[in-house]
Structures are given as C-alpha cells and as structure tokens.
Amino acid sequence: MNETLRPCTLGEILDRTFQLYRNNFWHFVGIAAMPLVAGLILAIPVVVIFAIPGIAGGFTDVTTIVRVVAFILAFLIFLPLYLGAYALSTAGITQATVNMQHGEKLTIRATLKSVWPRVWTYLWNLILQGTMAGGVPVCIAGVVMGPLIYLLSHSGGGIGAGLAFGFMLFLMEAAMFAVIAWLALCYSMSMAVCVVEKKTAWQSLMRSWNLSKGTRGRIFVLCLLLVALSFVVLMISYFLALMVITATAFLGTGKALAVVGVIVAAVVYVVGVIGTQIAIVPVPWIALVLFYYDQRIRKEGYDIEWMMQQAGLTQHPSATLPFGSTATFGSVTPPDTVPPDTVSER
C-alpha cells in the first residue's frame, strides 16, 4: 500500500513503534537479550570462585586473596565484554528497525553480522554519549558543589546557615539532573545516525544535536511512557511475589518459607529483570529510529526527494526510506547514507 510521506505526530510514531515491535517481537527480544545472556555467562565463573571456599568448609587468607584477585580480574574482563555486547545489541535493534523500514527482515544472525564491523564505533558512540550527557555535568557540579559542601561542614553559622546551604545544594543537584536529561535528549538520535549514515561517534552526536531540535519534548514524553511501563512491569512482578507469599504463608513451616523465598526471588527476577531489561529495551531504540526519519522529513525534505526518485525525476542516491512510508522500492535500491546537504545543493 502506498501512503503519502509526511511528518508524523507522536501518536503515529508510537503506533508505528508498537506495530513494528509486535510484528517482530522475537526478533527484537532475541537481540535485546544479548547483554543479559552475556552477563549471566560471564558471572558463572565468578560465582563458582566465590562459592567454592564456602562449600569446602571455610575461608583462609589465601582464599580471600584469590577471591579479591578474581573479583578484580572478573571486573576488568566483564565490563568491556558486557559493554561490547550492549553496543552490539543496541546497534542490532537499530539496524533491524532500518531494515524493516526498507521492507526487509533479516535473521538475528544476519542483523548482528551487518553491524559487527563497526561495533567499536557504536561502543565509542555510547561511551561518548554517556560522557557528554552525564559525565561532564556531574564533574562540573562536583567542582561547584565541592567548595560549598566544604564551607557547610566548616561553617559555624548555625541552623539557618545550614538550611541555606542545603537548599542551595538541592537546587544545584536539581539543575544538574535537568541538564543531564536535556543533553540525553539532544544526543538521543546519535545511534540511529551512526548506524544509518555510517558517521563517526562524534559526528553522530553533532548530527543528533541538530536533528533533535524541535522534537526533544516528544522524545521526553516517550521516556516518561517507558518509565511508566517499566514501573507497571515491576509492580506486576511484586504482585505475583506477594501472591506466592500469601498462598504459602498458611503452610506455616520453616521449609515452606524457605521455598517461598526461592520462588519469590525467581518470580521477581524473571518477570522484573526480563520484562524491563529485555522486553521493554527495544521500544525506545525502535522509536528513536522513527523519530530520526521523521526529523529528516521535517528538516531536510527527504520525503520529496524520495518521491522524486521513485518517479524517476532524479538519479541521485536518496536517503533510506523515511518513516511512515510503506511504498515499494521498485527498481530503485535505497542506499544507507545520504549527504546532509543534498537538499540545499538542488
């Protein structure tokens, strides 16, 4: 079915997001599960090393040293591998969404294989995004609030001065979190830019800064909806745990209570962790790809360019299929990248 390419409302983007997610649920969940599976696999040796001394009958100075060394090595090995798996997963979800916008559907293996050559670029993009959005504001706030905390701890001004300093610190912390949230919205499309346009990490951040202008409020609403959805999932897990406790409390035996503890922990972990870390994780990455296409239509006129190419009025390579289009490609194969000044050159 052919539809007119046009800017979409927040409701239309959310509807398209959940439509893609629902129709390709296992594809997205399979990619999103990679970091959690990698974390569990990497955690097994650590658990074994920490559990063996206790099972063997006690701890000695040697076993304590071994545990400390094992923990340090596990952390140094675990963190890069986990971050790499997370970067591969997020890039895979983004690439899968792009493929589906093209009318294509690759296997999980093919999707991950397509993003693997640039996995370190995607990892650096995430690290740089976290540093710019979170690390820099925290460091600046620490430099500003550090002297205030020092003065507060060494001042003899009494309760009134303490309350004034405390209120100032509260305002600074609130401002810091507001800046972090705003910067996160500014850089939110950087992964989509990095995957679709094959730009470097820094170029993707700058491109995202420009593209996100005018839609940051809509992305913020999306984040609020996801927080609410995650809260609902966690509440469901706790409710199920409470039901198990209530049902087994009537047994009144020590063994029954021990079994209840195991069951409750399993229910909370399975429903809460899997529900929030696997089932919900693909939603924002899908939506950000759709926001990315929507902004390109609004700011750069790629809907007009795409229709001109479809009509055979131009042979210049166009952008990837903009969001909202279900048009067939015909004999034209849309490439992955497009020069940002394509429209202005015409």
pLDDT at 339 over 50: no
Cα gap 173→169, rounded to integer Å:
6
More confident of the two residues 192 and 36: 192
What type of residue is 322?
P
What value does the mean pLDDT take over residues 104-121? 91
At 42 the pLDDT is: 72
- How far is residue 87's CA from residue 126's CA, in Å, rounded to a whole number? 7
Residue type, 89: S
Instruction: Tell me how far apart the alpha carbons of residues 226 and 327 are, in angstroms, rounded to a whole number.
Output: 30
Per the rule left: phi > 0, alpha: psi between -120 and 50, beta: everything else, 97 is: alpha
Note the pLDDT tens digit of each residue in 144-178: 887 777 776 666 656 666 677 777 888 888 999 99
Higher-scoring residue by pLDDT: 189, 240: 189
pLDDT in tens, 199-239: 999 999 999 999 999 899 999 999 999 888 888 877 777 77
- For the record, the structure tokens of 290 come out as 């759709």
330 or 66: which leads in pLDDT: 66
Q: Residue 41, CB half-sphere, CA atoms under 13 Å: how many?
A: 10
**Mean pLDDT across the stretch 110-136?**
93
Indicate whether 304 pLDDT > 60.
yes
The two structure tokens encoding residue 229: 């959805």
Threshold 0.85, pTM exceeds:
no
The CA distances from residue 296 to 208, 247, 341, in Å, are: 11, 55, 11
pLDDT band at residue 123 using 50, 70 and 90 as cut-offs: very high
Nearest to 184 by CA among 140, 126, 142: 126
